[in-house]
Structure 1
Amino acid sequence: MNQNTGKTVLILGANSDVAKQCMKQYMEKGFSVLAASRDTASLEKFVRDNQLDSLKVTILYFDAVDFGSHQKFYNELPSKPHIVVYAAGFLVDNEKALRDFKGTQQMIMVNYMGAVSILNIIATDESNKNLERIIGLSSLSGVRGRKSNFVYGSTKAAFTTYLVGLRQELVSRNIRVNALVIGYIRTKINEGLQLNESLIMEPDYVAKHIVNAGNSFTIVPNFKWKMIYIILKILPESLVAKLP
């Protein structure tokens, strides 16, 4: 039976497949959800289709790359969050990113700049005594530079580095920071890509690791991906260069 925790989670980029599963799972744990996205109509449809308690969900408009709107967005939240999840993400093919800077720029702005902009605002609000945890969705692509995805990977590497420092900044206030270092997920962002089926995770599986995040800074869902993460960390550069 669900219990009302009296706590609120703010999900930024709530229209992603993983974020939507987070909404459901946080609500099952008794949280109220502030679901923020540019596509509010899709979120409203998701709430209706899944018969979620509309009294426990507030849908908000949030544009990760409209940096000038972030302070106003935060100031006008109906309640200050206990948990914040940054799930906004953007991906274009590496070859396209190399030849068209617009795609690269969008990845930088969504995956890194937008995150830093809004999370700086949230993290420096010392009047919010509710804040307990900030969770950022990063990627295995950011662990080591590889020729197949280094443009996207560099944005995730930057985000992870930011989260490391944010964790150090907030530890004195007893606020935890987690980085979800994620591999392939069966989501719309990966549609059309040639991926190893045995390594693909389902959105609800990844969401479970987010909602149940513990004390470890780095969380890598799935044993296979944990092994890949460890190998990538220790592999000599000469061998990394031979990877696709």
Structure 2
Amino acid sequence: MNQNTGKTVLILGANSDVAKQCIIQYIHKGFSVIAASRDTDSLEKFVADNRLDASKVIILYFDAVDFDSHQKFYDELPVKPHIAVYTAGFLVDNEKAMKDFKGTHQMMQVNYMGAVSILNIIAMDHSNSHLERIIGLSSLSGVRGRKSNFVYGSTKAAFTQYLAGLRQELASRKIKVNALVIGYIRTKINEGLQLNESLIMEPDYVAKHIVNAGNSFTIVPNFKWKIIYVILKILPESLVAKLP
């Protein structure tokens, strides 16, 4: 039997495949979970289908791009979180993003602007003395600009830099901030894309790294992706330009 930690985790964008696995794993570690998403029906079905303890899960409506609603959403939380995890994400093909700003704007709003809006509110609530960690899901696409996905990558690069600064801002309050810099995951967002099967991670594997996040700012699950991350960081620009 799992021990009750008495702690609560707030998962924002909780309808993603990774977030759903986080719900399971946090509950197994003894946390209560506030699962926030636009699709509350899907979350209720997920909790029922997986026979999770409904007393451990509160499902709330949250729209990452409805910025004006974020303060009210936070103020009305039944309990303020010990941990906040931002997992919301949106992706459109780079060529489509270049031709139609609507998709680009949606990526900016979901992947960066919405995150900054709600996480600023959470971080600046000094009355929540038990806030201990904020975790954001970023991407290796944001490490270096590459012609195949630089529009999406730019939103993730911005998010990573925001989290890095937030980590410094919150250090004096002993609040940890982690950025999960992740590669390909077998999720809805990647359906239909031609990806290297040997590099695809399962959602529960990524969730394990979120739930067990330590002190390091950058967390890159999977040793293959760690190697790719290091290579991308040090690769000369002339060689980056030759990448797809």
TM value normalised by structure 1: 1.00
User: In 2, Cα distance between the equivalents of 1:202 and 1:130?
Assistant: 31
Amino acid at match of 1:161: Q
Counterparts of 1:140-155 in structure 2 under 5 Å?
140-155=140-155
Question: Which residue pairs with 1:239 in the alignment?
Answer: 239
Runs of at least 4 residues of structure 1 off by over 3 A? none
Secondary structure of 2:9's partner? strand
Aligned residue type for 2:102: K
What runs of 5+ residues in structure 1 fail to find an aligned partner? none
Aligned match of 1:164: 164
Q: For residue 116 of structure 1, what is the aligned residue in structure 2?
A: 116
After TM superposition, give the deviation of residue 130 of structure 1 in Å.
1.3
Deviations 1:129-148 (A, max 9, x none): 11000000000000000000
CA shift digits 1:185-215 (9 cap, x unpaired):
0001000000000000000000000000000
Q: How does 1:195-234 map to 2 (within 5 A)?
A: 195-234=195-234
One-letter code of the match for 2:51? Q
Superposed counterparts of 1:3-82, under 5 Å = 3-82=3-82
Q: Secondary structure at the match of 2:195?
A: coil
Deviation at 1:168, TM superposition (A): 0.1
Q: Distance between the aligned counterparts of 2:76 and 2:54, measured in 1?
A: 19
Give the TM-score, by structure 2 length. 1.00
**Counterpart-to-counterpart distance in 2, 1:210 and 1:145:** 25
Give the AA of the match of 2:117. S
How many percent of aligned residue pairs carry the same amino acid? 87
Amino acid at match of 1:168: Q
Give me the whole-angstrom Cα distance separating, in 2, the residues matched to 1:213 and 1:34.
19
Q: Which amino acid aligns with 1:92?
A: V
Give distance in 2, aligned partners of 1:204 and 1:88.
Answer: 16
Separation in 2 of the partners of 1:45 and 1:97? 33
Between the two proteins, the alignment pairs up a number of residues equal to: 244
Q: CA RMSD in A?
A: 0.3
| Matching of residue 139 in structure 1 with residue 139 in structure 2 | yes
Secondary structure, counterpart of 1:36 in structure 2: strand
